[in-house]
């Protein structure tokens, strides 16, 4: 049974409540003069409970009042950051190390291989095509000339089965909204096709290459593109050479405004597979349509939201699915659509102790990617589920890719860890051998760093893993500046990966710790569910326990320990900062979900109710209010130095989350520790951000930590 720990909220008797201790006040220093933020009279009624929302006006992003506040906050923040000794040295070192080649994992269509490459400091990666084995790569699509500031990015790509057409979507200034275009692969010229008002969708080509399926929304009201909720997605079909207004709607459900549709066409071209999701809930339904049958109806093959079903491939009428039904760590099943009843299903790959993340079908071989204590393991099986061995990986780390078709003899994958940049391999399925396809070179001594994995005990006795990376020869003297990072949600696993900013941090003498909290996907659905809904406090307990372990083991100390997380991880940082401000020397909550009572009111926020619950539900309201970062800030408490980051075009986690949180925390701060907010312009939630902005963000984060943790100015 999973034990639940309610979050504590400090009131008048704060000193008597466990978990509400405040940090000791530092020596007197000059307080910052924060920009004026008028408090409004808005009070909401949640089933009889009155909750003030004094900064509701900040939800109007384009109002003169909000814009004036944003400009003033950025002026204060950048004047603070620019005065930090060593900031420019950090920027110079980040720029030097960021200047290395980076590649995506290739995929093959019509005998052509497609991949992206960034030469180093290019704003956006460029897409290349290899027309045949041994051919020289040629540029297919370069998004860099599309904008002067590099903020137009390629988001999603899909190539027709014959390799002739590339459908690709563009995102502007980091927005989730996408515009689809179509390019002739041979000529590298665009056709006239343009598709608008799409997000969270792939393009699935029909076998004949004449068009593709995709999902779209209705155009939002003018001026509300970054705020309006996104409901009623429709599955459409676009035929090349026609206007989007002529695209027929293949499937829609006006009785279920939350349903979203993911299209996929089977390798043989026979079936359209429709994966039906509700928000971010990992459980889904699966429908299909026989594209070869005249007037075919859409068949609801898996009509219940009872488990996760990931379509892997088909052998005629036999469909293969990766599922966690009756197997929380995942298994592979075969369903014959002529006998779809559950009693006729065949288990191909049974559940193991490891978490099955993905399965692909290449060269009549199932390639199964697992997580083993948050590190990759890749196993091979024949079509009947007989084990065929494994893919030999280089070390503890993360392997991704392994796409392809049943008829392909080779596939590609990438491998990375904390000291290995993403290296791309070509894998011969028949001989089970890997050869390097592209290997980046970084201008640093990567052998100077070591990684270890520790397991610590959380508040309720749960064993939680954590990766630790640092320069070899680290002394456990309790004085090492440390960044503790985590995410803990949405069934998303956090695994070892290479980061230039982390590398620079370690060059500066820092320790980087990655905690694999409950709520993530490291150990299957049970691990995920242990951090959902009213059990969200488990995630915060896991994070706090990680911090306490690092201090107890003398990796660091309270005044040298910083915490960092983004999005759901920003929520994590905000929540534990309220619960244990005494435990940390600095905090960086990035693009966080900070208002847990109103998150569902903006853009795609409603979709997260399947993870968090909603304040509209009287049963969930108390739990959400108990840990909501915005609503548990304690006036007069001494919070550690905090740098909040967001972006003005974030239409996933609405920027007002961070705006209201920053204003409230600044007003509540009971000591001179700075509370700053850095608001990036022409940027979104993170995807597609140009290299210069990535370097700028990392520069300011690391510089802030050197100041907050009282580190010497770096010399490289």
Residue 580 CA to residue 329 CA, distance in Å, equals 33
SS (H, E, C) 234-269: EEEEEECCCCHHHCCEEECCCCCCCEEEEEEECCCC
- List the strands of the sheet with 331-336, edge to edge: 309-315, 318-323, 331-336, 346-349
Asked if 127 and 115 touch (Cβ cutoff 8 Å), the reply is: yes
Tokens of 634: 């304690």
* pLDDT tens, position by position, 98-127: 999 999 999 999 999 999 999 999 999 999
| pLDDT at 126 (0 to 100) | 98
List of residues 6+ apart from 418 with CB closer than 8 A = 449, 451, 467, 469, 496, 497, 498, 499, 502, 512
Q: Kindly report whether the global pTM for this prediction surpasses the value 0.85.
A: yes
* pLDDT tens, position by position, 682-714: 777 767 789 999 999 999 999 999 999 999 999
Asked if 421 and 498 touch (Cβ cutoff 8 Å), the reply is: yes
Q: Which helix (H) or strand (E) holds 77?
A: helix 64-82
List of residues 6+ apart from 552 with CB closer than 8 A = none
* pLDDT tens, position by position, 300-323: 999 999 999 999 999 999 999 999
Give the N- to C-terminal CA distance of the chain in Å, as an integer: 51
Superfamily of domain 69-96+444-708: Alpha/Beta hydrolase fold, catalytic domain (3.40.50.1820)
List of residues 6+ apart from 264 with CB closer than 8 A = 202, 204, 272, 273, 275, 311
Active site residues: 567, 685
Tokens of 149: 């500031």
| pLDDT at 223 (0 to 100) | 83
Domain ranges across the chain: 69-96+444-708, 360-441
Residue 667 CA to residue 661 CA, distance in Å, equals 10
Q: For the chain, which ranges sit under pLDDT 70? A: 1-29, 686
Q: Are strands 211-216 and 126-130 parallel, antiparallel or unpaired?
A: unpaired
β partners of residue 697: none
Residue 570 CA to residue 576 CA, distance in Å, equals 10
| pLDDT at 29 (0 to 100) | 63
Q: How many C-alpha atoms does 676 have within 13 Å on its Cβ side? A: 26
- CA 168 vs. chain centroid, Å, equals 21
Phi-psi region of 328 (alpha: psi -120 to 50; beta: other; left: phi over 0): alpha
Query: Which stretches does DSSP call E strand in 418-478?
Result: 420-428, 433-438, 449-457, 463-471
| pLDDT at 13 (0 to 100) | 26
């Amino acid at each position: 049974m999973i034990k639940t720990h309610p979050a504590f909220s400090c009131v008048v008797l704060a000193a008597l409540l466990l978990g509400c201790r405040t940090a000791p006040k530092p020596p007197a220093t000059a307080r910052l003069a924060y920009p004026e933020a008028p408090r409004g009279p808005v009070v909401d009624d949640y089933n009889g409970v009155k909750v003030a929302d004094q900064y509701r006006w900040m939800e109007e992003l384009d109002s003169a009042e909000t814009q004036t506040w944003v400009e003033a906050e950025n002026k204060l923040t950048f004047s603070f950051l620019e005065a930090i000794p060593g900031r420019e040295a950090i920027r110079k070192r980040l720029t030097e190390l960021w200047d290395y080649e980076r590649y995506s994992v290739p995929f093959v269509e019509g005998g052509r291989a497609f991949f992206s490459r960034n030469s180093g400091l290019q704003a956006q990666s460029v897409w290349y095509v290899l027309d045949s084995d041994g051919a020289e790569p040629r540029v297919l699509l370069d998004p860099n000339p599309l904008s002067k500031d590099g903020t137009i990015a390629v988001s999603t790509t899909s190539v027709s089965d014959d390799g002739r057409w590339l459908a690709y979507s563009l995102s502007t200034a980091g927005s989730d909204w996408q515009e689809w275009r179509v390019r002739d692969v041979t000529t590298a010229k665009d056709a006239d096709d343009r598709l608008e008002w799409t997000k969270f969708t792939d393009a699935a080509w029909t076998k004949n290459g004449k068009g593709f399926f995709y999902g779209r929304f209705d155009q939002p009201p003018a001026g509300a593109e970054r705020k309006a909720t996104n409901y009623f997605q429709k599955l459409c079909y676009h035929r090349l050479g026609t206007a989007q207004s002529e695209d027929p709607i293949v499937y829609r459900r006006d009785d279920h405004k939350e349903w979203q549709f993911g299209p996929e066409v089977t390798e043989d071209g026979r079936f359209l597979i429709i994966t039906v999701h509700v928000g971010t809930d990992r459980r889904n339904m699966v429908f299909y349509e026989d594209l070869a049958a005249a007037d075919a109806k859409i068949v609801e093959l898996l009509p219940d939201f009872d488990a996760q079903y990931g379509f892997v491939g088909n052998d005629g009428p036999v469909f293969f699915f990766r599922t966690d039904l009756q197997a929380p760590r995942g298994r592979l099943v075969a369903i014959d659509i002529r006998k779809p009843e559950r009693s006729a299903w065949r288990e191909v790959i049974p559940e193991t102790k490891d978490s099955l993340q993905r399965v692909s079908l290449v060269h009549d071989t199932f390639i199964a990617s697992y997580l083993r204590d948050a590190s990759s393991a890749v196993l091979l099986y024949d079509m009947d589920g007989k084990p065929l061995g494994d893919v030999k990986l280089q070390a503890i780390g993360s392997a991704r890719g392994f796409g392809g078709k049943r008829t392909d003899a080779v596939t590609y994958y990438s491998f990375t860890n904390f000291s290995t940049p993403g290296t791309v391999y070509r894998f011969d399925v028949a001989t089970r051998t890997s050869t390097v396809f592209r290997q980046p070179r970084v201008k640093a001594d990567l052998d100077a760093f070591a990684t270890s994995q520790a397991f610590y005990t959380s508040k309720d006795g749960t064993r939680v893993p954590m990766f630790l990376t640092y320069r070899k020869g680290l002394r456990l003297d309790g004085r090492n500046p440390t960044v503790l990072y985590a995410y803990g949600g949405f069934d998303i696993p956090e695994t070892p990966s290479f980061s230039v900013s982390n590398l620079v941090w370690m060059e500066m003498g820092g320790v980087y710790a990655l905690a694999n909290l409950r709520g993530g996907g490291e150990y299957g659905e049970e691990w995920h569910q242990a951090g959902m809904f009213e059990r969200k406090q488990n995630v915060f307990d896991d994070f706090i326990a990680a911090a306490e372990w690092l201090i107890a083991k003398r990796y660091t100390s309270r005044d040298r320990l910083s915490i960092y997380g983004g999005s759901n991880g920003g929520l994590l940082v905000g929540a534990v900062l309220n619960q244990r401000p005494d435990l940390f020397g600095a905090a960086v909550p990035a693009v966080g979900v900070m208002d847990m009572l109103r998150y569902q009111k903006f853009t795609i926020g409603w979709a997260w109710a399947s993870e968090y619950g909603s304040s509209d539900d009287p049963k969930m309201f108390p739990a959400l209010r108990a840990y909501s970062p915005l609503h548990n800030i304690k006036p007069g408490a001494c919070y550690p130095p905090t740098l909040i980051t967001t972006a003005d075009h974030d239409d996933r986690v609405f920027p007002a989350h961070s705006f209201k949180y920053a204003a409230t925390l600044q007003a509540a701060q009971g000591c001179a520790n700075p509370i700053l907010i850095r608001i990036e312009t022409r940027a979104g939630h993170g995807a597609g951000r140009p290299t210069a902005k990535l370097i700028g963000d990392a520069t300011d984060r690391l510089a802030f930590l050197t100041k907050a943790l009282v580190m010497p100015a770096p010399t490289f």
